[in-house]
Structure 1
């Protein structure tokens, strides 16, 4: 046993058991990934109390719905005025609008919930395959009412997500809940902090973010390959968080919690160094850069849009939702939801892109 290993074991209070791996070199910050200031100056709608509107949904009337770290579910009207709808008495994260106007909420403390505007909260699931939900995180809902959702880690809660990222042991699960039978089964496991879920428009497959692997995986839902998993977007420039289902323009929006952390990648092959990092006070641990970032990928995993903010912009962005002319943003720790104009369509041309009706292109804000 080396001196470093002995020291790591001596000071460890977290129980973290890091797995050695080698992080890929981050992609070059050029082309579509070139820095821009699109998210700077985002309009913000503050929560009356609490903070951390981690995800955002839009109801059938075009109003934004979110949940704060105090358990309260809020709905903002079109002018940004909030009304409290319910209190889960937990910690709501991912949120989806159901066909009947109710909301599906992934509450990381309580499990999978259904919430209505009268304030009623129903528990749908808090276990899967005989194991409790440790870190219920994000979901997508099919037209048949089937719910696909993530349990990010069987080792650490969402509050301790840093430990799961440092450990890199891959205990996240992608789950399926059948509202008709009340049964929950496992679609995929071994995921590196399973996070956002987005359904393809034809519902033949879905995408799931693996935050700890900087990647987005595709899971087949039908046909002879049902259940098969493949990586379609690897080596992303940041830590992927929530994902939207496929939009009418064929895009999946992905929130990036932060840009990649160079020091985190450097210590990836060295478990003992990661044990030490996990046990130093959080105040002096390497912290992610507080700069907003969202990307949109197409069905092949190609990054089509990359919208960024500078230091001090609305961050960390953990939820994103396109609706009408706007992109609505959520954050794990901010005190408000935010919105920016959604980028318009463009077409690819040799050597670049051409505007097809986006006034923001003319002001230099559109990306291609």
Structure 2
């Protein structure tokens, strides 16, 4: 696959270049993968999973409602409420676009990132969705990724990329231009970009003590921290770097840990592309999907504390479920979402 990507047939080169000239690749030397990145199972192993089937595919994010039911969205735009005990599924809204990250408030209302539409609010099942944030600096938000609301009404959200729409997410990863953002919306509606230049900004978590925000940088294998209070307020550092896979959505669990969906282990072919001249990645981006570096099928989640220590590392081979974009922990149960699967996977935190 790598050879074919680097050396397409001579007759296709002109078409490939013409299709990819809008891409502006930035060279990057990824950190050397750790030994953990090459392993396919965790120790202790991830407990067995069961599936909650959905009428649609791609439950990209999952949130737990105050009553214990789950909410997710699928690639057809539907928003579903799921009873994890019975498996009953109820369609509660149509997002009018691809639903991505979500946040559930204490009253059961939802904030939903919708590709091409921005941040929307669903007050209750069956209600019309209200656009809370549709533009940033006068430009429509094409790729909102994850969102959270503080108790005072402040909303924090990530924008994965300002250059590409959702269906070109792999182009942004390949380009590595760093156009992702972490944004705050004050209760009065004022918007402020807190952090710019993020590499495919994704999951967002607010520390329980409101001292900092965490944002996953899928394109750089790291989790970045933005300080809200104290002597470091307004600055950033990295909670953890050189992760063994690509972090996606993040949620604060009932156990106080930050749970992270690892959508894919590190792909050696992709890492080899980043330091090469930009023309190579333009060629690769223009090739059919079957010839480009694809996410490795795996079921993988991590849990970290706010010091950056990995407390849980759970992985199994992606034979029946894969591309885990989200994990919601609730009282020791883990609910996993996926970019492509037609179900929510359910497992548990191993007993210690």
Q: How high is the TM-score relative to the length of structure 1?
A: 0.87
Q: What's the counterpart of residue 173 of structure 1?
A: 181
Q: What's the counterpart of residue 133 of structure 1?
A: 141
Superposed CA deviations along residues 308-338 of structure 1, whole A, max 9, x for unmatched, are 1113142100011111131111111111111
Alignment of 1:271-290 (within 5 A): 271-290=278-297
1:198·1:243 contact (CA, 8 Å) conserved in 2? yes
Q: What's the counterpart of residue 221 of structure 2?
A: 214
Secondary structure in structure 2 of the residue aligned to 1:244: strand
Q: What's the counterpart of residue 196 of structure 2?
A: 189
- In structure 1, how many angstroms separate the alpha carbons of the residues matched to 2:14 and 2:327? 39
- In structure 2, how many angstroms separate the alpha carbons of the residues matched to 1:195 and 1:251? 18
1:157 has 2:165 as partner: yes
2:60·2:339 contact (CA, 8 Å) conserved in 1? yes
- In structure 1, how many angstroms separate the alpha carbons of the residues matched to 2:305 and 2:44? 22
Stretches (4+) displaced over 6 A: none
Secondary structure in structure 1 of the residue aligned to 2:19: coil
Question: Do the aligned partners of residues 331 and 13 (structure 1) sit closer, same or farther apart at CA in structure 2, a change above 3 Å counting?
Answer: same
- In structure 1, how many angstroms separate the alpha carbons of the residues matched to 2:288 and 2:40? 33
- Equivalent of 2:273 in 267, 291, 299: 267
Secondary structure in structure 2 of the residue aligned to 1:29: helix
- In structure 2, how many angstroms separate the alpha carbons of the residues matched to 1:120 and 1:338? 29
1:37·1:310 contact (CA, 8 Å) conserved in 2? no
Question: Do the aligned partners of residues 10 and 60 (structure 1) sit closer, same or farther apart at CA in structure 2, a change above 3 Å counting?
Answer: closer
1:12·1:276 contact (CA, 8 Å) conserved in 2? no
How big is the shift at 1:222? 2.1
- In structure 2, how many angstroms separate the alpha carbons of the residues matched to 1:223 and 1:37? 38
Structure 2, unmatched stretches of 5+, are 1-6
How big is the shift at 1:288? 1.4
Q: What's the counterpart of residue 87 of structure 1?
A: 94
- In structure 2, how many angstroms separate the alpha carbons of the residues matched to 1:11 and 1:19? 17
How big is the shift at 1:131? 2.7
1:200 has 2:207 as partner: yes
2:321·2:341 contact (CA, 8 Å) conserved in 1? yes
Q: What's the counterpart of residue 263 of structure 2?
A: 257
Q: What's the counterpart of residue 363 of structure 1?
A: none
Superposed CA deviations along residues 28-58 of structure 1, whole A, max 9, x for unmatched, are 229x99635844741111112x211100001
How big is the shift at 1:140? 1.8
Give RMSD over aligned pairs. Answer: 2.2
Question: Do the aligned partners of residues 8 and 236 (structure 1) sit closer, same or farther apart at CA in structure 2, a change above 3 Å counting?
Answer: farther
For structure 1, which segment, 201-210 or 39-48, has the greater mean C-alpha deviation from structure 2 after superposition? 39-48
- Equivalent of 1:96 in 103, 116, 119: 103
2:254·2:331 contact (CA, 8 Å) conserved in 1? no
2:16·2:286 contact (CA, 8 Å) conserved in 1? no
2:304·2:312 contact (CA, 8 Å) conserved in 1? yes
Alignment of 1:272-351 (within 5 A): 272-344=279-351
Q: What's the counterpart of residue 51 of structure 2?
A: 44
Q: What's the counterpart of residue 36 of structure 2?
A: 29
Superposed CA deviations along residues 180-230 of structure 1, whole A, max 9, x for unmatched, are 312222111100000000111111101100011000000011234322111
For structure 1, which segment, 117-126 or 220-229, has the greater mean C-alpha deviation from structure 2 after superposition? 220-229
Structure 1, unmatched stretches of 5+, are 345-354, 356-368
For structure 1, which segment, 267-276 or 317-326, has the greater mean C-alpha deviation from structure 2 after superposition? 267-276
Query: How many residue pairs align between the two structures?
Result: 338
How big is the shift at 1:302? 2.0
Question: Do the aligned partners of residues 324 and 250 (structure 1) sit closer, same or farther apart at CA in structure 2, a change above 3 Å counting?
Answer: closer
For structure 1, which segment, 221-230 or 93-102, has the greater mean C-alpha deviation from structure 2 after superposition? 221-230
Q: What's the counterpart of residue 64 of structure 2?
A: 58
- In structure 1, how many angstroms separate the alpha carbons of the residues matched to 2:14 and 2:45? 43
Q: What's the counterpart of residue 77 of structure 2?
A: 71
How big is the shift at 1:109? 2.1
